[in-house]
Amino acid sequence: MTNPSLYAAQEPIFPRRVSGRFRTLKWWIMIVTLGIYYLTPWLRWDRGPNLPDQAVLVDMANRRFYFFWIEIWPHEFYFVAGLLIMAGLGLFLFTSAMGRVWCGYTCPQTVWTDLFLLVERWIEGDRNARLRLHRAKWDVRKVRLRITKWTTWLLIAIATGGAWVFYFTDAPQLAVDLVRFEAHPIAYATIGVLTATTFVFGGFMREQICIYMCPWPRIQAAMMDSDTITVAYREWRGEPRGKGNVRKRDKLAAQKAEAEAQAAGPGAARYAPTPYPKAALQVGGTPRITAEVQEHGDCIDCMACVNVCPMGIDIREGQQMECITCALCIDACDDVMDKIGKPRGLIDYLALSDEPREREGQPPRPVWQHIFRLRTLLYTIMWGAMGLALIYALFIRTDIELTVSPVRNPTYVIQSDGAVRNIYDVRLRNKTGTARPFGLSLTSEDVLRIDLEGANDLLQVTVPADSTLMQRVYITSRPGDPAATRNQTALRLWVEDLETGDRASRATTFHGREQ
Amino acid sequence: MSDKNIDETTGTETTGHVWDGIRELNSPLPRWWLWTFYATIVWGIGYVIAYPAWPMISGATAGVLGYSTRAELAESVDAHELANASLVGELVKADITGLAPSDDLHRYAVARGGAVFRAHCSQCHGSGAAGAKGYPNLLDDDWLWGGSMADIEYTVRHGIRNEADPDARYSEMPQFGEILEENELMAVTEYVISLSSPEHDAALAATGLELFADNCSSCHGEAALGDPELGAPNLADAIWLYGSDRDAIEYSIRNARFGVMPPWQPRLTEPDIRAVSVYVHSLGGGEE
């Protein structure tokens, strides 16, 4: 007995070209997602002077994130956290409703692999040609095709890595700097790394990334249940499968059965196991067709679903961790079903909970009944609540802002005349593109005096454009006044943009002399 | 052929290992994974050669790249020193009295001075500069030796009543317990209390007034407002370095106090002295 190898070489996969509804949808999604990725950094958005005019910009150096009309400062990072929570909840929602749609349609690994496959097909031909080329000895033609393919891949990879860095600085300027070799080394290093990962992941690793490196399949599988709509094979309709030569013998019977199935309605024909009444299978009074043959299902074992699969699996074996639900096997099978005159949907998006009904020849429950259930409803509510909260937070933001941190070491200072003074560090934020004069004031139920460090009797400070100014503020209570002797007095600090009249305020506390 | 062990239930090959009759299905790992593992080992060996790694009796192997976190730190400290060199030069030379809070030099001095303060001054004056009994609060508007930038800088530089610096600020209050009678001490105490508190014995304070004029006003002034030239505190305000209760005041009169501060001139660098002076001046009580 020899010990089996514990390591297996990667099995090359040569997905065949396919066309159909889902393939068309995937082409459009690829165009849209890649379009967004490559073009977004080039969109301009006029924010006035002193501010960048790039619509989407992650400005690490100045700690700013620009998204069209929204500008996020580091202290507003909760927006990013909120969006991540929404992305998480959205993933839960989509996965529990429709399985691994993220993997199948929009995951960058899927989209770029699809693009690389398109290139591969365009240069080396479809499945059979690629298989032949794979097995062929290295000759001039093979070398030429391989080099053409790899070069095209590499160009796409460079464009991919190149597009990424444009999100982090002014894109037109960086593009000029990049070709003049004047850009920052980090830009070149980032492009290099992303070019390498795109080239290797999209060109060579492909399904290996999904199967062995990505944690998503495990997580997503945990979020699916029997009501989740997913890509599956109607084994109760298709089995036992059989190739054409077996079928020829009972073509007649099959046609007859088909007619009966059609008579039962298109819904039933699509989902139900094909009924083969024994009487219909008898030709000339002789039972020529054995029981085994009588029970042939709709699957003609043409392997179309397997040949188009980018993951190299056979969907007919049931739900598998490798399946990214790209739905290409649906397109392939529907095509075959059309050709052999069978109803579509042998491989279909379906909920596994419908299996018992379909086995009995009943149509499945409507899709909305699968999708609208407590779980998805809860995810939707949580997702929507998070979104509304973020929108609300976005609208209550002002262009000017202040935060107040009272100096607590010590909480108060006695002045020589007995007055009690509190010190506050006030951060004033001017989010506009021009320097603005800010006026400071306070409101309180008690008499308090406000002074600014730098002996500014006008209580005015000028905050430079798009920046934060730290201003020390002194608030004083005269000796004997209530605020001086009370432990704590509530007050509110106001900042006003003296040009526009915009105001913002913060509540804080005045500490009196402890009695 | 019994070369392959096939599990009957699943049809999957097994590894051939058996434990108590239980066999292990073979789910082979991708080959590239194995190569990745080998690559990490190669990387690890390269790392050990390139970077400091093996602990030796003194220190560790240096690594052929000569990398050191200490050197990196020193480099980044040097880089900052270099970046701040012009500010440091300015800090030493410039007139620091009139700096606006928004001035770059002021901001640099406050940041640097704050660090110096926390390292060298906070032990007595507190991390928030609020002081303690016997150690002045530096946040208020009461200054024993003057609160202008120049006064503060002088105090930081030379200290108070120390023997190390001949230029230290110096004054010494007599111990009036050896000069005045017991009842006279009571009267002066009452008078000093009367200067800032309405709760006092007016008759006793009136006798104390004369004693104060004879014994104390030469330093503390006729109106007891103190004299920063002599470090004589203002006795009419609300701030009491050693406490405002009768016992504390009487103790001060009877035994005198002798607060000492070390000179920082040799211990701190010139820019540090200037910076910490700006910092203390900026705390809220700095005078013009």
Nearest chain A CA: its distance from B201 CA (Å): 21
Q: Give the pLDDT band (50/70/90) at residue B9.
A: confident
Of the candidates A5, A212, A414, the beta carbon closest to that of B238 is on A414
B149 is in an annotated binding site: no
Rounded mean pLDDT, A69-93: 91
A182 touches chain B (CB under 8 A): no
Residues 6+ apart with CB under 8 A from B36: none
To the question of whether residue B200 is assigned a binding role by annotation, the answer is no
Select the residue from B36, B104, B239 to test the A interface by mutation, using most A Cβ atoms within 10 A: B239
Cβ-Cβ contacts under 8 Å for B182 (sequence gap 6 or more): none
How many angstroms separate the CA atoms of B121 and B110, rounded? Answer: 14
Strands A488-497 and A436-444 turn out to be antiparallel
A198's CB contacts (< 8 A; 6+ apart) are A112, A156, A157, A160, A161
Instruction: Give the span between the Cα atoms of A71 and A86, in whole angstroms.
Output: 19
CB contact under 8 A, A208 and B32: yes
Name, in order, each residue with C-beta under 8 angstroms of A316's C-beta and a sequence gap of 6 or more.
A233, A235, A238, A241, A299, A305, A347
8 Å CB contact of B29 and A417: no
Confidence bin at A263 (pLDDT 50/70/90): low
Question: Residue type for A95, please?
Answer: T
The 3-class secondary structure across B163-190, one letter per residue, is CCCCCCECCCCCCHHHCCCHHHHHHHHH
Cβ–Cβ gap A10/B34 under 8 Å: no
A413 and B140 in contact by Cβ < 8 A?
Answer: yes
pLDDT in tens, B25-50: 888 888 999 999 999 999 999 999 99
Residue B219 is labelled as binding a ligand: yes
The pLDDT mean for chain B works out to: 92
Taking CA–CA distances from B106, the nearest residue in chain A reads A454
Judged on CB neighbours under 10 Å (0-12, 13-18, 19+), A184 is: middle
The confidence band for A145, taking pLDDT boundaries of 50, 70 and 90, is very high
Q: Report which DSSP code applies to A275.
A: P
- Min distance B58 CA to chain A CA atoms (Å): 37
Question: Angle at the Cα of A73 (from A68 to A76), degrees rounded to 5?
Answer: 105
Residue pair A123/A152 in contact (Cβ under 8 Å)? The answer is: yes
Query: Counting Cβ atoms within 10 Å, is residue A177 exposed (0-12), middle (13-18) or buried (19+)?
Result: middle
ipTM value for the complex: 0.83
User: Which B residues in the span 223-242 are in contact with A, Cβ-Cβ below 8 Å?
Assistant: 234, 237-239
Domains of chain A: 21-223 (no CATH), 229-365 (no CATH), 400-511 (2.60.40.10)
Q: Can you tell me the mean pLDDT for A285-299?
A: 56
What is the mean pLDDT of the segment spanning A472-500? 92
Enumerate domains of chain B plus CATH numbers.
1-66 (no CATH), 76-165+267-281 (1.10.760.10), 176-255 (1.10.760.10)
Left (φ > 0), alpha (ψ -120 to 50) or beta: where does B268 sit? beta
**A405 or A361, higher pLDDT:** A405
Q: Are B114 and B282 in contact (CB under 8 A)?
A: no
Inspect the interface and report whether the beta carbons of B239 and A472 lie closer than 8 Å. Answer: no
Chain B contact present for A410, CB below 8 A: yes
Query: Which chain A positions have a beta carbon within 8 Å of B5's beta carbon?
Result: 1, 4
A-chain residues near B16 (CB < 8 A):
1, 3-4
Please give the helix or strand (H or E) that residue A64 lies within, else none: strand A64-67
- Using left for φ > 0, alpha for ψ between -120 and 50, and beta otherwise, residue B271 falls in alpha
Contact A454 B102 (CB under 8 A): yes
Contact A417, A406 (CB under 8 A): no
Note whether B28 contacts A: Cβ–Cβ < 8 A: yes
Question: Per-residue pLDDT tens for B152-161?
Answer: 999 999 999 9
Read off the pLDDT band of A279 (50, 70, 90): very low
Q: How far is residue A419 from each of residues A92, A440, B271, measured CA to CA in Å?
A: 59, 21, 34
Q: What Rg value do the Cα atoms of chain B yield, rounded?
A: 36
A449 part of contact set with chain B, CB < 8 Å: no
Confidence of residue B277 (pLDDT cuts 50, 70, 90): very high
B28 and A6 within 8 Å at the Cβ level: the answer is: yes
Of A2, A408, A413, the CB nearest to B284: A413
By C-alpha distance, which of A10, A321, A2 is closest to B29?
A: A10
Cα angle A417, A421, A422; round to 5: 170
> Which whole number is the average pLDDT over A134-148?
95
Residue whose C-alpha is closest to residue B138's, from B167, B109, B154, B117: B117
Closest CA to A106 of A161, A33, A160: A33
Q: Do B15 and A212 make contact, defined as CB atoms within 8 angstroms? A: no
Helix or strand run (H / E) with residue A231: strand A229-233
Question: pLDDT, tens digit, for every residue of B193-230?
Answer: 999 888 889 999 999 999 999 999 999 999 999 999 99
Q: What residues does A503 pair with on adjacent strands?
A: A496
Q: What is the DSSP letter of B13?
A: B
User: Which of A 70-99 lie inside 8 A of B, CB atoms?
Assistant: none
Which residue, A372, A413, A183, A42, is CA-closest to B136? A413
B16 interface with A at CB cutoff 8 Å: yes
What percent of chain A is helix, strand and coil (3-state, nearest 5)? Answer: 50, 20, 35
Instruction: Please indicate if the annotation marks B216 as binding a ligand.
Output: yes
Q: Rounded distance, CA B150 to CA A181, Å?
A: 54
Say which of B101, B128, B234 has its CB closest to residue A453. B101
pLDDT band at A250 (very low <50, low <70, confident <90, very high): low
Q: How far apart are CA A51 and CA A34, in angstroms?
A: 28
Question: Does B209 contact chain A (CB < 8 Å)?
Answer: no
What was the pLDDT predicted at A353? 93
Whether the CB of A514 is below 8 Å from some CB of chain B: the reply is no
Per-residue pLDDT at B61 exceeds 80:
yes
Model pLDDT for residues B84-134, shown as the tens digit of each residue: 999 999 999 988 887 887 788 999 999 999 999 999 999 999 999 999 999
Task: Supply A293's token pair.
Answer: 């043959």
Collapsed DSSP state (helix, strand, coil) of residue A425: strand
Contact criterion met (CB < 8 Å) for A416 and B29: no
Identify whether the C-beta of residue A38 lies closer than 8 Å to the C-beta of residue A159.
yes
Q: Where are the beta strands (DSSP E) in A297-397?
A: 347-351
Set of chain A residues whose Cβ sits within 8 Å of the Cβ of B238:
414-418, 479
Residue of chain B minimizing CA distance to A423: B284
